[in-house]
């Protein structure tokens, strides 16, 4: 199902075209004809590239025993491509008796042709600052975020172009480019399972009047009661009130008109979610989404991913931001008492990747495996849905695994369990048919485990060079086909498909 372009969407595009020369070009980019979808998957806490696709074997490093080089047998080279992978099992996560088995190589085998790893060195090891810089390229383009740039270019006609599903992180902070229409700034969907209920004012409310009467009451309120009230006459110039009254107009009609309370409802009718008794029903796509993300009811990342798919598939959003929460997540019924947890019971470590401070290797392995597993299932769903002309939704999508920073490389000699700190040096994983897939851009010095950069046009590895946040930002923007005249962004040709 594709939603037809709405008045609001057209207005958003029009507003963008008035905002400035660069924006005007961006607004004319192919919003409807050739859509693009950006999925930002936040690896909160520092997902380390040398604990995944640029892992170094102990035997390859002159300092393998004191740096975070992995035992040779745990470092895989799946599919013969440029990417490495860590497949690792442990009975504990640091001091926590939480056995798990982690796997990265399956993802590489399945999606290696669409994977691109680009090394870079960031500018902050502060979580909040680095998170925001990872999506703005350290204010590379007037401070707008990747999500906002995508929503501006490809969000026309979509009821909620930019949806933020993950909470408590700065990957979703608003950018500092105030020149854009408000419709491109992120909409927070803080509880994915219940959020669809907030997208209709009447359906499913016991004792609600019929739609025509309800709209008559709204029309009375909007057209007479409010405008003629002393309150609105007195405070009508309030920015808050103006926005409120605007949102009640076309945006509200777009959202309710698309029946998102149904289209985005992942849950089936159940005791916990008595939809039928309240006159509601599941999305027509809900069954396949639930099959892909069976833990959607209790695992926040799976519930986010389920909703993310529906937001894209139902034409609601052009960009979604999701990611592991920073609270521990356990399997349903996991016993936390004597005897410890069963294998796989801990799905998400506390503070996500940042629990590497306590148990670097276990946390990196478990959390990478978790992120890759969800990404794999999301990609599979998108691949199985045709958008148009024999092309799937995945053919138009890009997953950016955003993170703040890498992790420190040292370890006590020979230790398997150790803690790590924050380090500016890292690399980014981008997965998409739109990027120069199957490429490892840059490399790693096996004796320091520090990554080095590449030539942005040819991709030739350049030891001693460090790619910057603006360069990674630009590469993603350009792979997504967003025009950037006057922005001064570097040409990152090698990150684009068929470079």
Provide the binding-site residues for other proteins, judged by CB under 8 A.
159-160, 167-168, 174, 182, 185, 187-191, 194-195, 197-202, 204-209, 212-214, 216-218, 220-221, 224-226, 228-238, 240-241, 243-245, 247-248, 251-252, 255-256, 272-275, 277-278, 280, 325-327
- Return the number of the residue (325 or 404) whose C-beta is nearest other proteins: 325
Is the CB of 186 or the CB of 456 nearer to other proteins? 186
Give 62 or 247: the residue with its C-beta nearer to other proteins.
Answer: 247
> Could you tell me the CA-to-CA distances from 445 to 74, 163, 472 in Å, in that order?
19, 38, 20
C-alpha dihedral, 71 to 76 to 77 to 78, nearest 10°: 180
CB 468 to other proteins: min, Å: 30
Closest distance to other proteins from the beta carbon of 95 (Å)? 24
Closer residue to other proteins, CB minimum distance, 130 or 252: 252
Identify the three-state secondary structure at position 154: helix
| Closest distance to other proteins from the beta carbon of 178 (Å) | 12
Q: Considering beta carbons, is residue 240 or 338 the nearer one to other proteins?
A: 240
How far apart, in whole angstroms, are the C-alpha atoms of residue 61 and residue 56?
7
Residue 12: CB minimum distance to other proteins, A:
12
**Nearest distance from C-beta of residue 43 to other proteins, angstroms:** 16
How far, in Å, CA of 69 to CA of 65, rounded?
7
With respect to other proteins, which residue has the nearer C-beta, 158 or 407? Answer: 158
Q: How far is the CB of 239 from other proteins (least distance, A)?
A: 8
Of residues 205 and 457, the one with the C-beta less far from other proteins: 205
Write down the least CB distance from residue 290 to other proteins, Å. Answer: 18
Rounded to whole angstroms, the Cα distance separating 251 from 187 reads 12
Could you give the 3-state DSSP secondary structure of residue 321? Answer: strand
Nearer to other proteins, 242 or 391 (CB): 242
For other proteins, the closer of residues 206 and 333 by Cβ is: 206
The nearest distance, CB 389 to other proteins, in angstroms, is 31
Q: Report the residue number, 89 or 205, with the smaller CB distance to other proteins.
A: 205
At closest approach, how far in Å is the CB of 197 from other proteins?
5
229, 238 Cβ separation under 8 angstroms: no
In the complex, minimum distance from the CB of residue 143 to other proteins, in angstroms, rounded to a whole number: 16
DSSP code for 223: I
Query: C-alpha distances in angstroms, 176 versus 11, 135, 180, 183, 227?
Result: 21, 12, 10, 15, 33
Provide CB contacts within 8 A for 284, sequence distance 6+: 263
Dihedral of alpha carbons 258, 180, 139, 114, sign: positive
Closest to 295 in 3D by CA, of 220, 386, 365, 373:
373
Closest C-alpha among 53, 45, 47, 51 to residue 443: 53
Select 2 or 224, whichever has its Cβ closest to other proteins: 224
Q: Crossing angle of helices 127-136/469-479, nearest 10°?
A: 40
Half-sphere exposure of 261 (CA within 13 A, CB side): 18
Instruction: Write the CB contacts of 447 (distance below 8 Å, at least 6 apart in sequence).
Output: 61, 62, 63
Token pair recorded at residue 62: 């002159």
The residue among 146 and 352 lying less far from other proteins, judged by its C-beta, is 352
* Minimum distance, C-beta of residue 299 to other proteins, in the bound complex (Å): 14
From the CB of 166, what's the least distance to other proteins, in Å? 10
Going by C-alpha positions, the residue among 85, 98, 53, 95 that lies closest to residue 357 is 95
| β pairing state of 162-164 and 187-188 | parallel
Taking residue 359's Cβ as centre, other Cβ atoms within 10 Å add up to 24
Separation CA 369–CA 469 (nearest Å): 25
Tokens of 217: 């009451």
CA dist 351 and 363 (Å) reads 10
Distance of CA 455 to the CA centre of its chain: 27
Chain Cα centroid distance, residue 447: 33
């Amino acid at each position: 199902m594709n939603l037809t372009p709405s008045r609001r969407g057209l207005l958003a595009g029009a507003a963008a075209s008035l905002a400035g020369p660069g924006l005007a070009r961006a607004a004319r980019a192919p919003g409807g004809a050739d859509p693009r979808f950006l999925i930002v998957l936040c690896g909160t806490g520092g997902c380390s590239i040398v604990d995944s696709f640029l892992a170094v074997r102990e035997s390859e490093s002159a300092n393998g025993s004191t740096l975070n080089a992995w035992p040779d047998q745990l470092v895989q080279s799946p599919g013969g491509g440029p990417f490495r992978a860590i497949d690792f099992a442990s009975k504990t996560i640091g001091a926590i008796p939480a056995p798990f088995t982690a796997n990265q190589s399956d993802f590489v085998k399945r999606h290696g042709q669409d994977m691109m790893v680009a090394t870079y060195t960031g500018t902050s090891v502060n979580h909040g600052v680095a998170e925001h810089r990872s999506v703005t390229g350290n204010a590379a383009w007037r401070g707008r975020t990747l999500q906002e740039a995508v929503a501006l270019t490809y969000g026309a006609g979509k009821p909620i172009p930019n949806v933020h599903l993950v909470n408590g992180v700065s990957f979703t902070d608003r950018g500092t480019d105030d020149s854009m229409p408000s419709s491109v700034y992120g909409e927070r969907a803080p509880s994915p399972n219940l959020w669809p209920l907030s997208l209709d004012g009447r359906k499913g409310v016991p004792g609600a009047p019929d739609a025509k009467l309800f709209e008559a009451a709204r029309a009375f309120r909007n057209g007479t009661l409010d405008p003629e009230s002393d309150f609105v006459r007195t405070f009508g110039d309030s920015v808050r009130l103006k926005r409120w009254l605007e949102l009640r107009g076309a945006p509200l009609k777009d959202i309710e008109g698309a029946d998102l309370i149904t289209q985005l409802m992942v849950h089936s009718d159940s005791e916990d979610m008595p939809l039928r008794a309240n006159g509601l029903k599941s999305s027509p796509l809900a069954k396949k989404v639930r099959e892909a993300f069976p833990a959607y009811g209790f695992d926040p990342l799976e519930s986010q991913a389920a909703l993310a798919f529906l937001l894209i598939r139902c034409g609601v959003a052009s960009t979604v931001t999701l990611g592991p929460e920073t609270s521990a997540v356990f399997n349903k019924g996991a016993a936390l008492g004597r005897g410890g947890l069963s294998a796989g019971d801990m799905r998400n470590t506390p503070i996500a990747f940042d629990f590497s401070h306590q148990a670097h290797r276990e946390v990196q392995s478990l959390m990478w495996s978790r992120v890759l597993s969800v990404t794999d299932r999301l990609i599979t769903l998108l691949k199985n849905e045709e958008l148009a002309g024999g092309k799937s939704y995945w053919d138009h999508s890009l997953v950016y695994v955003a993170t703040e920073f890498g992790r420190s490389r040292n370890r006590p000699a020979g230790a398997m369990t150790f803690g790590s700190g924050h380090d500016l040096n890292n690399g980014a994983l981008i997965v998409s048919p739109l990027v120069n897939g199957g490429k490892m851009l840059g490399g790693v010095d096996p004796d320091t485990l520090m990554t080095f950069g590449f030539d942005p046009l040819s991709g030739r590895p350049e030891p001693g060079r460090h790619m910057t946040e603006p360069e990674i930002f630009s590469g993603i923007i350009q792979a997504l086909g967003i025009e950037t005249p006057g922005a001064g962004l570097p040409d990152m040709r090698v990150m684009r498909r068929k470079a």
